[in-house]
Structure 1
Amino acid sequence: MSTTELPASHAELMDGVYRWQRHIYDLTRKYYLLGRDRMIAGLDVPPGGTVLELGCGTGRNIILAARAYPDAHFFGLDISAEMLETAGKAINREGLPDRVMLARGDATDFNTGALYGIERFDRIFVSYSLSMIPGWEKTISAALAALAPTGSLHIVDFGQQEGLPGWFRTLLRGWLKKFHVMPRESLRGVLESESRRTGATFRFRTLYRGYAWLAVIKLGI
């Protein structure tokens, strides 16, 4: 597993949050991290393609994606050493170490050449991580810079619960705050702006009455 110099405060925070939670993370999060499997199904990875997940956590998503696209090669980045330990064990159990490579790094500022020996990826995806990353806008810019000329960036995260009752939104926000999670109100606007800047196409969907947002930015034609 590769690593680069990390911002100590956020790395330590995430290690503290997930030191114990990582053992039950997938069991509990499956009930409210909605839309992840739909995002994976829409990756449409080309044969022999390369896929990078930013904020790979326990490895749940990258393992499912590796199963769905058996000809592709996968790379995972996370700032938490605790999460990467869990992810590494899961990947070994699934017999995927030859196809999945992990590295510790900051999703707002990473060098894929140094971490993986690869400069550009056919697909990059981010699942429920932008809502936990300080300076998350930089993650979007960095991801787009790491895409191949016809690559695509896929994002799923908490929406603004715009179609759900106000009491539900209040309860959800209070619960998420305990885990340093903040749904990004400006996410759609930032993605649209980055799409215009890069001349990319942009697709956006609200899921479950705004509980989750699903977006794709595709470069090239």
Structure 2
Amino acid sequence: MSAKAETAAGHAGQMDAVYRDQRHFYDLTRNYYLRGRDRLIADLDPPEGGSVVEIGCGTGRNLILAARRYPKARLYGLDISEEMLATARAKIARAGLDGQIVLAQGDAARFDPARAFGFARFDRAFMSYTLSMIPPWRMAIAHLPVVLAPGGAAHIVDFGQQERLPRAFRAILFAWLARFHVEPRGDLREAVESLAAENEGLRADFAPLYRGYAWNAVIRRLTP
């Protein structure tokens, strides 16, 4: 096994351990502080019949909302944790959406969409509070344009740096997040803007949300 494969396998095992029990009540607790997820889904606006992939789909909560909002879209979900995927499969089946949503196990930083889902590019991709849990998070961002079709867009929402909130709040939040292997990425803006600047045909947009509690970024592929 290569070093990269060993790293991915180690991260998968860590995520399975973290979520083996948490997955059963994850959505009930996360509604209070994973802000901006529904706004991201509303902004996806895929073309009719278009393809949408969530990278780091967790329990399937976002995919279910996206499928209901865009009933003519084809939805796909990728997660490194088989434990989370087990919960996602059950939730999607209960929602009656297993005919519209396809799931696969894989690493956000290096997955092969053709192998996972049978085709190479998507009209929309999104990552909701996942970069802060991915050790090679810059690799995951750099991989996004690879899976985007021409005219496609990748939407990201994750923890910001709480820049317009009280300093004590930031310290308490970051200490609590660290207990769950969550590390807000202070260089997110620089990463997406550098990716666009270094690759012709890409454009990056960035905006803080909720006084910096969350950050939103969009990477658009303007040309093939």
Structure 1 and Structure 2 fold alike (TM over 0.5): yes
Q: Which amino acid aligns with 1:208?
A: Y
Match in the other structure for 2:39: 38
How many Å separate the matches in 1 of 2:8 and 2:126? 22
Listed as ranges, the matches of 1:44-59 within 5 Å are 44-59=45-60
2:110 and 2:218 mapped to 1: Cα distance?
21
Q: Provide the secondary structure at the position in 1 that maps to 2:83.
A: helix
Counterpart for residue 220 of structure 2: 218
Write the distance in 2 (CA, Å) between the matches of 1:20 and 1:146.
Answer: 32
Residue 197 of structure 1 deviates from its aligned partner by 2.2
Contact 1:164 1:210 in 2 (8 A): yes
| 1:51-90 correspondence runs (5 A) | 51-90=52-91
Residue 206 of structure 1, aligned match among 202, 205, 208: 208
Aligned-partner residue type, residue 51 of structure 2:
T
Is residue 108–residue 142 contact of structure 1 (8 Å, CA) maintained in 2? yes
Deviations 1:118-150 (A, max 9, x none): 100000000000000011111111111110011
State whether structure 2 residue 162 is matched by structure 1 residue 161: yes
C-alpha contact (below 8 Å) 1:5/1:105 kept by paired residues: no
Other structure's SS at 1:214 match: strand
Give me the TM-score of the superposition, normalised by structure 1.
0.96
Partner of 1:124, secondary structure, is strand
Q: Which stretch shows the higher mean deviation, 69-78 or 201-210?
A: 201-210
Separation (CA, whole Å) in 1 of partners of 2:43 and 2:161? 22
Superposed, 1:2-17 pairs within 5 Å as 7-17=8-18
- The percent identity for this pair of structures is 57
- CA positional deviation for 1:5: 9.2
CA contact 1:6–1:105 (8 Å) conserved in 2: no
- For residues 16-69 of structure 1, what are the alpha-carbon distances to aligned partners after superposition, in whole Å with 9 as ceiling and x for unaligned? 000000011000000000000000000011000000110000000011011111
Counterpart of 2:98, as a letter, is P
Change (3 A) 1:204 1:25: same
Aligned length: 218
Q: CA RMSD in A?
A: 1.3
Displacement, 1:7?
2.2
3-state SS in 1 of match to 2:212:
coil
Q: Distance in 2 between matches of 1:205 and 1:132?
A: 20
- Does residue 111 of the first structure (1) align with residue 101 of the second (2)? no
Work out the CA distance in 2 between the residues paired with 1:217 and 1:108.
16
Structure 1: which 5+ residue stretches go unaligned?
A: none
Question: Is 2:116 the partner of 1:101?
Answer: no
Asked whether the 8 Å contact 1:131–1:157 carries over to 2, the reply is: yes
Secondary structure of 1:149's partner?
A: strand
Structure 2: gaps spanning 5 or more residues: none
User: How many angstroms does 1:6 deviate by?
Assistant: 7.9
For residues 55 and 114 of structure 1, the distance between their equivalents in structure 2, rounded to whole angstroms, comes to 17
Q: CA deviation at 1:8?
A: 1.9
Aligned to 1:25: 26
Distance 1:219 1:16 in 2: 36
